[in-house]
Amino acid sequence: WLNRYEWTYSVTLTPNSRDQQTSPDKMYRLLHEWDARMNRCLFGPKWTKRQDERLFFFFFLEKPVVNPHWHGLLRLDPSNPTDQPRLEARFKGECERLWKRVVRAGTTDVKMVHTPEGISKYVTKELAGVVQYECFVCPRTFDPTAS
């Protein structure tokens, strides 16, 4: 079902905290904070009003008990297609910096998606586990305008 979308990047966000047992709730809050920072960086201070341009992604929590990290598929979809190269460069340049603002020891891995079939299997490889199934984030989950 993930292959229905055109993805720009595969993104891994790892907190690398000393406490390797970061709860799924805390991981969710960290991802939420990173999402807000990244949208503001890419789309400006009024990013909440630009619903059609915000980041579109699915993130899946992996190894929530030990070494928790997020694997995600993300699409940059500007309203003006000529903005795509600028957005991609900005995203790649700011992704880790903003994650480190959320989690000082955090690291990222950002890769361009060329073959969506293989990468979609990779990011969902642990979805069969109960915690992982309950801990994935859909597009617009963090939409501040939703009730």
How far apart, in whole angstroms, are the C-alpha atoms of residue 13 and residue 110?
9
Enumerate the β-bridge partners of residue 70.
13, 61
> Can you give the C-alpha Rg of the chain in angstroms?
15
| Long-range CB contacts (within 8 A, 24+) of 93-96 | 94/38, 94/41, 94/42, 95/11, 95/38
Higher pLDDT, 62 or 135: 62
Q: Which range is most confident: 8-22, 29-43, 73-87, 112-126?
A: 29-43
Span 72-130, pLDDT tens digits:
999 988 778 888 899 999 999 999 999 999 999 999 999 988 776 667 666 766 665 55
Q: What is the pTM of this model?
A: 0.82
How far apart, in whole angstroms, are the C-alpha atoms of residue 139 and residue 58?
6
Q: Is the pLDDT reported for residue 54 higher than 70?
A: yes
